[in-house]
Amino acid sequence: MDRQEAIRLFVAVEMSAAIRSSLTELRFHFPDLKWTPPDNLHLTLRFIGSVSEASAATVQQALHGIRHGAFRLTVGGLGLFCRKTGGVVWAGVHEEPALRKLKRQVDEALYCSAGLSLPGESFSPHVTLTRLKKAPPPALKTPVREKSGESFGEMPVTSFTLFRSYLHRSGAIHEPVERYALVPENPRLGE
């Protein structure tokens, strides 16, 4: 695939303004870390990776076939994924059957309708707050643990988004390609 034609895509649920604000306030407790910009805070349903322009159009169309009801999502607690070569500080997303069902429908649409070969992956819903280039220092574990029970809010999920991602030295830039509305199950969800 020609590098100029490659389009890097992922499917995600965008965080509400209120939850983005709550998560952004955490920066004051961890001043030495480079945080994800507030507009980039999201819950990834499926990372697709680099595809051709034709495949990107097929993906965009395949996601139109998803029929799923709106639901509520709760974000709370901090955690740390640790590796020798780096790590991630993340905010947890409470397990919701509706979220798992949406994830499954996204994967089915991408595999069955768009014909993508998707790697098997375990789904651990979270919002990435910062990526660490080195193994997390031991001193980071205590403040993360202290915030592990904190709530960052609840939000209605009324859509999901196909994003295009551009990698730059300063960090990734995520551009919405298309938002897909979920069917309102309760007219009061959006309040």
Catalytic residue of the set 29, 64, 68, 126 = 126
CA distances to 20, 38, 148, 159 from 23, rounded to whole Å, are 5, 8, 13, 20
Catalytic residue of the set 29, 42, 168, 174 = 42
Would you call 42 a catalytic residue per the annotation?
Answer: yes
Taking the C-alpha atoms of 118, 120, 121 and 123 in order, what is their torsion angle to the nearest 10 degrees? 80
* Cβ contact 77:92 at 8 Å: yes
Cα 90 from Cα 103, distance rounded (Å): 19
H or E element at residue 98: helix 97-108
Provide the residue type at 123 as one letter: F
- Could you give the residue numbers annotated as active site? 42, 126
